[in-house]
Amino acid sequence: MIELDNVAYSYGGGELLSGITFGLQPGSFHFLTGPSGAGKTTFLKLCYGALIATSGEVRLFDQDVRSMTRDDVAMTRRRVGVVHQDVQFLDHLPLADNVALPLTVSGRGALDEAANLKELLNWVGLNHRADALPPELSGGERQRAALARAVIMSPDIILADEPTGNIDWEMSQRLLRLLVELNKMGKTIMIATHDLALIRAAKTQVQARVLRIANRQLQLAGADL
Ligand SMILES: Nc1ncnc2c1ncn2[C@@H]1O[C@H](COP(=O)(O)OP(=O)(O)OP(=O)(O)O)[C@@H](O)[C@H]1O
């Protein structure tokens, strides 16, 4: 689904990632960990084509990201749902409209939209908050809304960057359960996180692999986490 072949990435100040070869298999569940500043967000951005590798090749659904047209990029955005580290909403729009934004932008029918949206808000436990404005939401509500928005287009892959960064343990568990549920429905999941307790909790629920970025390299972490 996503393949990186000997990928390197530099930000000008030097090489951040180097010699990265990785293939994301359908239906897999990965955690991505490593020290702060190691390049986890950068790696995720390379995976969904938001950044282009300095060298090496990234293929998204068998297509080299460098050869993608604007339409190709729009298509892959539908197939890859991203939960960003710094979740942004339009503060003047109610939560439901924010969650529906990818549908609205893509021009899907209103009826289709309404049915899908209600079900989705229910699934993340936010039906009662549908009319709330983003500044009125708690951290956990924002994260669940971000997840709902990331999956509203029924993507095949969900990439989540520190989705439990600012929320308490109970809410982290709730979010994890939603991601595990998505994986059981066949979605491919990758979560960047510092939270080793979250990884341990996940391993009791799903067969998760742990990747670690350190010293510019991507490695498969040992089973002793
Ligand atoms: N647009 C940019 N321009 C220059 N340097 C950048 C840019 N984005 C990130 N960096 C640098 O690249 C390094 C890796 O950043 P990245 O966000 O990928 O790390 P991370 O592992 O996700 O960190 P964290 O765990 O703290 O979120 C950092 O030192 C960061 O300052």
Reported ipTM: 0.94
User: Looking at ligand 1, which residue's alpha carbon is closest to its atom 9?
Assistant: 42
- pTM for this entry: 0.89
Distance (Å) from CA 32 to ligand 1 centroid: 14
Tell me the CATH number at 90. Answer: 3.40.50.300
Contact predicate 81/153, CB 8 Å: yes
10's tokens: 């530099």
Residue 201 lies in a domain: yes
Residue 147 lies in a domain: yes
Mutate to test the pocket of ligand 1, among 18, 33, 41 (most ligand atoms within 8 A of CB): 41
- Ligand 1 neighbourhood includes 42 CB (under 6 angstroms): yes
Residue 120 lies in a domain: yes
pLDDT at residue number 178: 86
Q: SS3 letters for 110-127?
A: HHHHHHHHHHHHHHCCCH
pLDDT at residue number 223: 59
Residue 134 lies in a domain: yes
- Ligand 1 neighbourhood includes 11 CB (under 6 angstroms): yes
- Ligand 1 neighbourhood includes 69 CB (under 6 angstroms): no
* pLDDT values of the chain reduced to their tens digit, one per residue, 225 residues: 899 999 999 988 789 999 999 999 999 999 999 998 899 999 999 999 889 999 999 999 989 988 888 888 878 878 999 998 888 999 999 999 999 888 777 766 555 556 678 888 988 889 999 999 999 998 889 888 998 898 888 899 999 999 888 788 888 888 898 899 899 999 999 999 988 889 999 989 889 999 999 989 998 886 555
Residue 225 lies in a domain: no
Residue 61 lies in a domain: yes
pLDDT at residue number 116: 75
Closest ligand 1 atom number to CA of residue 12: 4
Closest ligand 1 atom number to CA of residue 194: 25
169's tokens: 């343990």
pLDDT at residue number 115: 63
22's tokens: 């990785």
- Rounded to whole angstroms, the Cα distance separating 203 from 209 reads 9
**Which residue range(s) make up the domain with 196?**
2-220
Residue 18 lies in a domain: yes
Q: Name the helix (H) or strand (E) containing 178.
A: helix 169-184
pLDDT at residue number 45: 94
pLDDT at residue number 109: 55
- Ligand 1 neighbourhood includes 102 CB (under 6 angstroms): no
> Per the structure, how many domains does the chain have?
1
pLDDT at residue number 124: 86
pLDDT at residue number 110: 53
Contact predicate 190/159, CB 8 Å: yes
Distance (Å) from CA 43 to ligand 1 centroid: 10
For every residue of 118-158, DSSP letters joined together read HHHHHHTT-GGGTT--GGGS-HHHHHHHHHHHHHTT--SEE
Residue 142 lies in a domain: yes
pLDDT at residue number 54: 93
pLDDT at residue number 211: 94
Distance (Å) from CA 39 to ligand 1 centroid: 6
